[in-house]
Amino acid sequence: MLLARKMHLHYGPIALASLLIISGGVWQYSLGTKDSPATGSSPAGLVVGSIAAGIILFELLLWPRKRLRKHKLGRTKFWVAYHLWLGLACGPLAFIHSGFRFGGTFTTILMALLGLVLTSGVFGWVMQVFIPRWMLGNLPQETIPSQIDDVSLLSALENRQMLTVALGTKPPNTGKLVALEDQLSALKSGLSVSSMKYADATPGLDKSNAIVVGARQRRDPQRASFGQDLADDLNAADRIEIWKQYTLVIEPFLLKNIVPNSTRSTSRSPIGNLQRTQEWFKNLQASCSDSAYPILIALQSTVEERLQFDAQRMAHAWLHRWIAFHAGISVMLGVLLIVHIIQSLRYM
Amino acid sequence: MAITGKQRSRRIDRNYTSSQDPSILWKRWFGWAGLILGGLYGLWLLTPSAAKQLSTGTLSKAHHAWNETGCDQCHAPWSPINTTSFARSPEVIADNNRRCNDCHKMADHYPGATEHSLLALESCVQCHHEHLGINHNLLDIADESCVRCHADLAKFVIDANRPLSKVTSFDSTNGIPGHPHFQGLVRDPGTIQFSHTQHLRPGQALRPGDLSAKTWDSLPLAFQDQYQKPKKGSDPIQLTCSDCHERDHPIAGFETLEGPNATSATNSLGRQTNAHVLYKPIEFSKHCEACHQLDLPHKLDFKDKNQLLDIVATSQQQRLARSERLQSTSNPSESSVDEENRLRIAGTASGQDLIGLIKQNNPLAKTEIFKTYACSKCHQPATDLAFNNNLESIVAPSSLPTQWLKKASFSHGPHINIQCDECHKIRLDSNDLSLGNLASDVLIDGIQGCQKCHIVDEAKRREAQVDGVKIIARADCIDCHRYHDHGPQGTATGSGQTGLGQTVTQGSTGTASP
């Protein structure tokens, strides 16, 4: 989002400066002749190469700058703007510095690394421009990525509680609920939640440590209340069918990647995507009485939320995983750049 | 059943930031991996075994073996080899040049005329650029290498008052004068009287339509096979350039034109080359004698007086015999010895007793021979011919240059596809015999003739193409000139050899003199 909000006001001068630097490099290179070509060791090549090296080292400063952000070393948006535009200028400058040749093995590796750095950087730039916009419009249930599993687990627990209140205890012939003791222990140990309030609905919960967590805390009493109202209207067949579908289909989907051996892959699940989910719940509603409608709507909402979490997890990966590659080869480029400088001065 | 943002936020643990996002962990791991890998590779690059990795490009064929052996063969560590680098100094350049000279004994560039302090800044790599790939030609020198100094030589020569040409290009561009006129063509050193115009006319007629034309039948039998027979033997004989001018080396790829045993010129690597394909000196016995038969041998030996007497006496006897036969047909009568002597003396140019002069060692004998035996038809007399009795030759040296362009290395080889008269202009319809009456007249219009095809400026090239010029060639300085090749013997530091392994010979190697 940072890159999409009138950042051209900040980028304009920097982009212009980058263009000026590149133009200067081209001009310097054009001064070279066949007799005295503007290679890396020529005065023009040296000037252009020094600028390119300076830019690369400046780009790498983003790492220590993040470590030292408490010292307030400039605003992030300016750092990003300089990082992007000067980084883009670095490629042409390095190519000019090399005299439009890749040279030997080492210099070719350097150029290849620079190309990868630039490519991954531009890729990340594009990702960071478009994916947040897409998420804003398509993932209203977006949450903090690291909390996706915890929130999904909470959703499963809330659903159990709601169904228990609305439908009564799960009938014995409707499948087996997944044991969540380990996951709850993990939550309690500090991953996301220190304790739960649903001890009465979930075996193994320590009731004394339960606290109110998230929006469900406010919503669940409502669910419990409408569940209580519905309890008398639902017939036994509805109860059995909803519990059965919840146990076999919905909860495994909500707990996928959270509970071992209960994961149902998205591709095989009948609620693996939004279209299938809506179709599946429509069929379920048709097989149940109208009294079950509010409960099914609540369950569908939970599943759709989980589907958005999956999409968010994927978007998050596209949004951030490239940084690891970008940072890794950038650091390698920086190290080899220093070697290049030393060796060039040695054998200039 | 939508929930608000606040409700959503309350589902999140307040301490969620204490958990590590996998992408952050990956970034950290990749960062360290890059640092370690780069560091290890960088450390390895500092070892001698990694020298090839550091090369900025593959070396040319000549130095290809050193791709494996390291940089120190040519590079002095921490000493810039490039003369344009910021840390250049005469000492560093000299040290680098010494590394080249260890293998390449090349001459300096006019050390006697060039400012020494500036010459010391000239580095081999200034012109010969390496690391540009195995197929890069180290001898492909850019014009800028020469123009750098020759655009204004006054700054670089010791004697700045001498007339110096400012050369920036072969042809004039944008008002800047191009290559000066060829100095080698300004003064004609030749002494042989010869008209190319006459000899290239049918039958070598003095004027067009002359009826006294030489026919193929009139040639001695021994020479007839040497010349192309016309349709009829009684037709005038037509000479071509190649009847007299033979290449010193066959042009590479065209050896069969020169005969089965012909071998083309080779460079120092033993490869065929068209560099310095010139023409052999004209030989009287081979190229002239078919038409011009002499009463005396073409090369007389003046050291052995008795042999000279015999030759002269025999030749006079033959002359008398011919004249007696002529007389006998008109006025048959017996001639006495006195009459014979009278006729012999009368047969000389000055009416002197040539035999007597030779016996007396009189210097006039040589003058008399020169005049009597038609040496003057082609030759000029030697200096002091009438006074110096010790001259070994009675004619002046022919002084026909083998290489006209003394400061260039012109070769006919690359011009094989061009007819001779494209460059050597002969007006065969002219009645003016003074035109081209010296054998040494190469009939070149001057540099303008070359500039018709050799064009540097792109705009002029396009104009020439529009004008219908079919052959357009480059005109690089290195096409004709050699930096290290400025004398027959080179300098004290060099061997005088060109980069192609050819030694240029200069001086007079003209036709043989009697």
A46 Cβ under 8 Å from any chain B Cβ: yes
Q: Which residues pair with A13 in a beta bridge?
A: none
CA distance from start to end of chain B? 126
CB interface of A with B, residues 272-301, below 8 Å: 297-298, 301
- Tokens (6 digits) for B253: 């790829």
B86 Cβ under 8 Å from any chain A Cβ: yes
For residue B409, pLDDT beyond 50 = yes
- Tokens (6 digits) for A57: 């080292």
Looking at residue A187, the DSSP 8-state letter turns out to be: I
Q: Is the dihedral of CA B169, B170, B174, B175 positive or negative?
A: positive
Of B10, B4, B14, B11, nearest to A154 by C-alpha is: B11
Closest residue in A to B43 (Cα) is: A339
Contact B26 A324 (CB under 8 A): yes
Residues A25/A93, Cβ–Cβ less than 8 Å? yes
From the list A36, A151, A343, the residue facing B11 with the nearest CB is: A151
Looking at residue A74, the DSSP 8-state letter turns out to be: S
Q: Which residues pair with B497 in a beta bridge?
A: B503
B85 Cβ under 8 Å from any chain A Cβ: yes
pLDDT, greater one: B464 or A73: B464
Task: Please give the backbone phi and psi of residue B387, each rounded to the nearest 5 degrees, phi first.
Answer: -115, -25
Residues B404/B279, Cβ–Cβ less than 8 Å? no
From the list A40, A151, A328, the residue facing B33 with the nearest CB is: A328
For residue B94, pLDDT beyond 90 = no
B286 Cβ under 8 Å from any chain A Cβ: no
Least Cα separation, residue B406 to chain A (angstroms): 25
Of A64, A51, A7, nearest to A330 by C-alpha is: A64
Collapsed DSSP state (helix, strand, coil) of residue B508:
strand
For residue B499, pLDDT beyond 70 = no
Of B211, B164, B202, B156, nearest to B183 by C-alpha is: B164
Chain A residues closer than 8 Å to B142 by CB: 33-35
CB within 8 A of B343, min separation 6: which ones? B320, B323, B335
Chain A residues closer than 8 Å to B77 by CB: 346-347
Which segment, A243-257, A299-313, B187-201, B416-430, is predicted with the most confidence on average? Answer: A299-313
Token pair 């009294």: residue? A291
CB interface of B with A, residues 3-32, below 8 Å: 3-4, 6-13, 15-16, 18-19, 21, 23, 26-27, 29-31
pLDDT, greater one: B274 or B405: B405
DSSP of B209-254: T-S---BSTTS-HHHHTTS---SSTTSBP---HHHH--BSSPPTT-
Contact B42 A338 (CB under 8 A): yes
- Say how far apart CA B489 and CA A294 lie, in whole Å: 110
Token pair 């394909």: residue? B277
Question: What is the structure's pLDDT at A135?
Answer: 92
| ipTM of the shown complex | 0.76
Half-sphere exposure of residue B191, counting CA atoms within 13 Å on the CB side?
18
B508 Cβ under 8 Å from any chain A Cβ: no
Contact A104 B33 (CB under 8 A): no
Question: What is the structure's pLDDT at A327?
Answer: 93
- Tokens (6 digits) for A304: 């759709």
Per-residue pLDDT of chain A (348 residues; tens, 9 = 90+): 444 456 666 677 777 777 777 787 777 667 666 666 667 777 777 888 888 999 999 999 988 888 887 777 788 888 888 888 889 888 888 888 887 778 788 889 999 999 999 999 999 999 988 999 999 999 888 888 888 888 888 888 888 888 888 888 887 777 777 777 666 666 655 544 323 333 333 444 443 444 434 433 333 334 445 555 655 667 888 888 999 999 888 988 888 877 766 555 666 788 888 899 999 999 999 998 888 888 999 999 999 999 999 999 999 999 988 999 999 999 999 999 999 998 888 876
From the list B12, B23, B142, the residue facing A35 with the nearest CB is: B142
pLDDT, greater one: A262 or B409: B409
CB within 8 A of B364, min separation 6: which ones? B350, B352, B357, B386
Of A233, A228, A247, A227, nearest to A173 by C-alpha is: A247
- Say how far apart CA B138 and CA B97 lie, in whole Å: 15
Contact A150 B8 (CB under 8 A): no
Of B105, B120, B196, nearest to B444 by C-alpha is: B196
Chain A residues closer than 8 Å to B123 by CB: none
B41 Cβ under 8 Å from any chain A Cβ: yes
B368 Cβ under 8 Å from any chain A Cβ: no
Chain A residues closer than 8 Å to B75 by CB: 347
Question: What is the structure's pLDDT at A183?
Answer: 67
Chain B residues closer than 8 Å to A146 by CB: 16, 19, 21
- Say how far apart CA B140 and CA B129 lie, in whole Å: 9
Question: What is the structure's pLDDT at B448?
Answer: 84
Question: What is the structure's pLDDT at A56?
Answer: 92
CB interface of A with B, residues 198-257, below 8 Å: 212-219
From the list A143, A151, A346, the residue facing B78 with the nearest CB is: A346
Contact B86 A213 (CB under 8 A): no
Confidence of residue B492 (pLDDT cuts 50, 70, 90): very low
Contact B53 A216 (CB under 8 A): no
Interface test mutation site (partner B, options A339, A340, A341, A345, max chain B beta carbons within 10 A): A339
Amino acid found at B469: V
Q: How many CB atoms lie within 10 A of CB B352?
A: 17
Chain A residues closer than 8 Å to B52 by CB: 104-105
Residues B281/B510, Cβ–Cβ less than 8 Å? yes
For residue B510, pLDDT beyond 50 = no
A195 Cβ under 8 Å from any chain B Cβ: no
Contact B41 A336 (CB under 8 A): yes
From the list B1, B16, B56, the residue facing A192 with the nearest CB is: B16
Q: How many A-B residue pairs are in contact by the CB < 8 A criterion?
A: 182
User: How does pLDDT run across B253-271, given as a tens digit for each residue?
Assistant: 665 555 555 555 555 555 5
- Say how far apart CA B487 and CA B403 lie, in whole Å: 13
Contact B45 A343 (CB under 8 A): yes
CB within 8 A of A27, min separation 6: which ones? none
Residues B374/B381, Cβ–Cβ less than 8 Å? no
CB within 8 A of B28, min separation 6: which ones? none
DSSP of B151-218: TTGGGTBS-TTS-----S-SS-BTTB--SPPPGGGTS-----B--HHHHHSGGG-SSTT-S---BSTT
Least Cα separation, residue A294 to chain B (angstroms): 9
Q: What angle do CA B344, B347, B349 make, to 5 degrees?
A: 130
From the list B31, B54, B80, the residue facing A106 with the nearest CB is: B54
Chain A residues closer than 8 Å to B87 by CB: 348
Contact A214 B12 (CB under 8 A): yes
Looking at residue B384, the DSSP 8-state letter turns out to be: T
Interface test mutation site (partner B, options A31, A33, A36, max chain B beta carbons within 10 A): A36
User: How does pLDDT run across B209-234, given as a tens digit for each residue?
Assistant: 776 778 888 888 888 888 888 888 88
Chain B residues closer than 8 Å to A145 by CB: 21
Question: What is the structure's pLDDT at A309?
Answer: 92
Of A277, A284, A280, A201, nearest to A241 by C-alpha is: A284
Of A78, A93, A98, nearest to A10 by C-alpha is: A78
Amino acid found at B135: N
Read off the pLDDT of each residue in B346-361 and give the average, rounded to a whole number.
76
Contact A36 B37 (CB under 8 A): no
Contact A144 B16 (CB under 8 A): yes
CB within 8 A of B333, min separation 6: which ones? B327
Residues B36/A328, Cβ–Cβ less than 8 Å? no
Read off the pTM. Answer: 0.63
Chain A residues closer than 8 Å to B478 by CB: none
CA distance from start to end of chain A? 46
Confidence of residue B513 (pLDDT cuts 50, 70, 90): very low
User: How does pLDDT run across A43-62, given as a tens digit for each residue?
Assistant: 777 888 888 999 999 999 98
For residue B331, pLDDT beyond 60 = no
